[in-house]
Chains A and B, each alone.
Chain A
Amino acid sequence: MADATQAEHKWTMVVDLDKCTGCQACVVACHAENNVPIRNKSEVQANRAQHWIRIERYWVGDPPAKARFLPMLCQHCNRAPCEPVCPVYASVHSQREHLNLQVYNRCVGTRYCNNNCPYVVRYFNFYDPYFPAPLTEQLNPDVTVRTAGIMEKCTFCIQRINRAEQQARTEGRDLGPDEVIPACVQTCPPSALLFGDLLNPESRVSKVLADNQRALRVLEHLGTEPAIYYLKGGKSYVRF
């Protein structure tokens, strides 16, 4: 179901853990771009906050422990555990884009997909979104606004991918190597997030991942084959 033979694009993200400063710019940009609701305090206290991308903070080492940041978002696994379990085919895989899709109008709210996801990156709308007027003016019309009962997750800004592909098709050309940029990648100040088509050798992610000793994937041993590569932190050449 998820073989690459017929795919046109293999969208891949590279996260440079050495550069991520945990500033949450990607989190806010994702909310703005994808109409992700902010949950109020009591909903958050009920463990129902929704942030499609989150910066996980781990404490490392003996006290005083230092923090390390790990941006975590839907890994768009090539063997996604969330796909086989959806009874209504709301969580499906795109063979052309190599993405894990969430079809909102199909979702009935089983929440089995979130249960199966080892990265816990799926978010269920337990409540209706609260956008008091005129905050509704800010909603992005290119993205559906989800109500209660629908599962959602990072889509790699599929609306931007589609828009770029439409533009390219209308102009009769191929997509440029770095033409598609999701919201989080676009705003990240230290450029810790990179995005591109791994099938295109000219794209930045292809060049960064070629022969990269630092590249690894999270929970790789589970066999989910995620589409996001993390470059683990480096050591300075300065000797101290």
Chain B
Amino acid sequence: MGRRIGRRDLLKIGAASAVAAALGGCEFPRPWVQLEPYVRPPEEQVAGVGTWYASTCRQCPAGCGIIVRVLNGRAVKIEGNPQHPLNEGKLCPRGQAGLQDLYNPDRLQGPVRQAVRGSRQYQAISWEQAITDLRTGLAQAGSSLVVWADCTISGHLLDLFERLTAALGAPPPLVFDLYTALSGYAALSSADALLFGRAALPAYGVEEADVVLSFGAGFLSTWLSTTHYGVAFGSFRQRPLGQRGYLVQFEPRSGPEAAKADLWVRLHPGTEALVAQALARLIADAGEGPPDRVARARAWAPAVDPAAISAMSGVPLEDLRRLASTFVTAGRPLAIPGAALTGHGDAVAQAAAVQVLNVIAGAAGLGISSGPPAEGLLTAVVAPYGRVQRLVERMRAGQVGALLVWGAANPAYALPPALGFVDALKQVPLVVSFRPIVDETAVWADLVLPDRTYLEAWGYDVVEPSFGMPLVDSQQPVVQPLYNTRATGEVLLEVARGIPVAAAALPWPDELAFLRERIAALPAGVFNGAGEEVRWARFLQHGFWQLAPGPAALEAPQARLQPVMVPAPSFQGAAGEFPFFLYIYMPVLLSDGRGADKPWLVGSPDPMTTLMWQTCAEIETNTAIKLGVTYGDIVRITSPYGEVEVPVYVLNSVRPDTIAIAAGLGHSALGRFAGEEAEGPNPMALVGAGADASGASMAWANIRVRVARTGRRVALAKFEDTRGSYGGFVNQAFADQYL
């Protein structure tokens, strides 16, 4: 409506408690509005009373169960599923914001074609045309087809993609996105494969631990499973008999974990794994603690010099000794490898070095993710970064005939520009995006065939890490699909019908038939029933399937003794030219950037900086004084690979030699909220194309940068200091008394 909305109109639109459609109110004089009944109402819904449907959140790969309140065919609130063992009725902020994925105003309303890549001029086409184009492209590409999916892909869709690619002789789908890259999924899996013989994500029993050493893990913001670790943290702080858990965070910057930690060790960037090795050595040398732990330490601890590591990391040797002693004498100690230590050096060895501490501690608190509970159910396994590098080379060499990108993978945004992904796209004849909204990769696509958002889609998800209990989540549409979108599974089946070699591999009439066939393979679960119909209904009703008779103890695998050598940290960029270390982290609301298109996430205050719509460079107080910058000054941060301009946020909780920048903004597409309203850098522009020594991860955590003033300023959109006086400093006595 063009006219300014007056008070009564908005109150009408917003607060009608009956079956309402105020959209037709334009035609009638106020206060009369139109009232549209259902044509054919769903059986279980009562007008004016919400119906709750269970599904799975897909804002991150954790797979928390959700229940969605649907009122008159509209989804109005998402809550955690109280029955779900992973999140127990709780939900992190990203899960709560899922409705703004569904109702995002910039969603595509149907398939479109872009005649000139990068022009952002999209012509609406019909689905028949879209499928024909896709089919032609796939038939031509044949075995040079590449499918790129993100970590939240439903198991059944991944299955369909795998069958399609196998039928065409193409390599299996590549699962890679910035969320798993900056969390170190591939390195963590490989570290477990190295030590325990099975590549799976580690699952840590924080709720039962009493001492947790977290080596930079953002487990309360964005790492593996925010909600589950949040729930576990609550129990951790309130263990029985007044035993409050003790948390130590090793991180050059203070995130929420360092804020909650009892001891925050502000160590030199890149030395987390070395400190872990030093602790193992100190446990072995000191000989105190339970004999079995000391014995394991003596077997597993590497030959390192704790004094040298102390000098390198900046942690006093005495502190290291006391930490080692605390760890080994604790009842249930736990060490958690973080994200940054998987971003440089030898990521697998570094993650393994921290896991060694868990091996020394004995099985208490350590767990490994269970595998899929049934044959035929797939989990998305994150590819090592080396595979991505090879793919871009193949693209550049013209060996990729078609690239299909599904979900929030967004390689044009996620990958460092130094890798040259966008350039390499020029050599790919057909680029298709399935994301419901146009992102940076879709800007360079020929076809965008929007999938349904997860609240309108079917699927299953094998929960990984599953924390000791095999779990399969169900996903069902909670509302009628809003627009003329089609589930990508349906599109694939339709496309395959026209390609003879693929038609045999994908014979199902629709994706729901395929999905039900897969789910029928599940063994007896907690919610059982006679017959497949009943079991399918229960699967949807409860939102998940769990192995009966109930959750088992966290599986403690047997470790194989491995020499784990962690190299000394080396940084990209000469120290003279680039005096600062770059620390990239994923904030809790924006995560890897997929939260930036939702006003509830990008417009809510960040926990540490309280900024909304902006991210900044965190610079330490004295460093800022030396540089001559203050809050809001825009500086140019330059690395050996690129540069970004970013406003400054001054705080004394980051190391003086480190600049911390949040991932998540710097979008040039992804709708009005992310692309136009929000302002902030994409720190991946500062990262180089290289991988770590093992090839599992991007080398993103060992970049050096320099800072230069630009002379420009911007008003910081912050919440602190605008309401009362919070944001300021309080002394320790005050905090002890009131906080």
- Asked if A and B form a direct contact in the complex, defined as CB atoms under 8 angstroms apart, the reply is yes
Report the interface size class on chain B.
Answer: 35 or more
Interface check A49, CB cutoff 8 A? yes
Which listed residue (B76, B221, B604, B621) contacts A63, Cβ 8 A? B621
What chain A residues lie within 8 Å of B14 (beta carbons)? Answer: 35, 136, 139, 141, 143-145
Q: Enumerate B505-536 residues with CB–CB distance to A below 8 Å.
A: none
Contact B722 A238 (CB under 8 A): no
Q: A58-B739, A120-B723, A135-B105 are in contact. Are A190 and B259 (CB under 8 A)?
A: no
What chain A residues lie within 8 Å of B726 (beta carbons)? Answer: 56-58, 70, 72
Q: A65-B652, A138-B76 are in contact. Are A27 and B105 (CB under 8 A)?
A: no
Q: Mark B602-635, 1 if CB is under 8 A from A, else 0.
A: 0111111010111000000100000000000000
Q: A18-B237, A25-B92, A60-B735 are in contact. Are A44 and B717 (CB under 8 A)?
A: yes
Stretch at the interface among B96-104, B130-138, B367-375: B96-104
Contact A27 B230 (CB under 8 A): no
Q: Mark B103-141, 1 if CB is under 8 A from A, else 0.
A: 111000000000000000000000000000000000000
Give, as a whole number of angstroms, the nearest-CB distance from A186 to chain B. 6
A56 to B607, CA, bound (A): 8
Q: Mark A185-229, 1 if CB is under 8 A from B, else 0.
A: 011111110000000000000000000000010100000000000
Give, as a whole number of angstroms, the nearest-CB distance from B338 to chain A. 16
A72 to B723, CA, bound (A): 11
Give, as a whole number of angstroms, the nearest-CB distance from A38 to chain B. 4
What chain A residues lie within 8 Å of B677 (beta carbons)? Answer: 40-41
What chain A residues lie within 8 Å of B263 (beta carbons)? Answer: 240
**Which residue of chain A has the shortest Cβ distance to B106 in the bound complex?**
A132
Which listed residue (A128, A142, A237) contacts B17, Cβ 8 A? A142
A64 to B6, CA, bound (A): 50
Stretch at the interface among B240-248, B417-425, B491-499: B240-248
Contact A240 B262 (CB under 8 A): yes
Interface check B256, CB cutoff 8 A? yes
What chain B residues lie within 8 Å of A33 (beta carbons)? Answer: 77
Report the interface size class on chain A.
Answer: 35 or more
Contact A59 B730 (CB under 8 A): yes
Interface check B578, CB cutoff 8 A? no
Main secondary structure of the interface of A (DSSP, over half): loop
Contact A28 B652 (CB under 8 A): no
Interface check B195, CB cutoff 8 A? no
**Which residue of chain B has the shortest Cβ distance to A188 in the bound complex?**
B90
Contact A141 B233 (CB under 8 A): no
Which listed residue (B11, B254, B603) contacts A40, Cβ 8 A? B603
Which listed residue (A56, A63, A66, A121) contacts B264, Cβ 8 A? A66
Give, as a whole number of angstroms, the nearest-CB distance from A205 to chain B. 15
Interface check A47, CB cutoff 8 A? yes
What chain B residues lie within 8 Å of A21 (beta carbons)? Answer: 220-221, 230, 233, 256-257, 260, 607
A121 to B288, CA, bound (A): 52
Interface check A69, CB cutoff 8 A? yes
Contact A32 B259 (CB under 8 A): no
Chain A to chain B: the 8 pairs with minimum beta-carbon distance, closest first: A145-B14, A189-B230, A190-B234, A22-B607, A38-B603, A56-B726, A67-B259, A238-B246
Can you identify 15 A-B contacts, CB atoms within 8 angstroms? A22-B588, A25-B90, A28-B93, A44-B612, A54-B723, A59-B651, A59-B729, A61-B731, A63-B653, A64-B264, A135-B105, A139-B13, A187-B91, A188-B90, A190-B233
Supplied contacts A44-B718, A65-B652, 10 more A-B pairs, CB within 8 Å: A19-B233, A24-B604, A33-B77, A41-B613, A49-B717, A55-B607, A59-B653, A59-B728, A129-B10, A238-B246
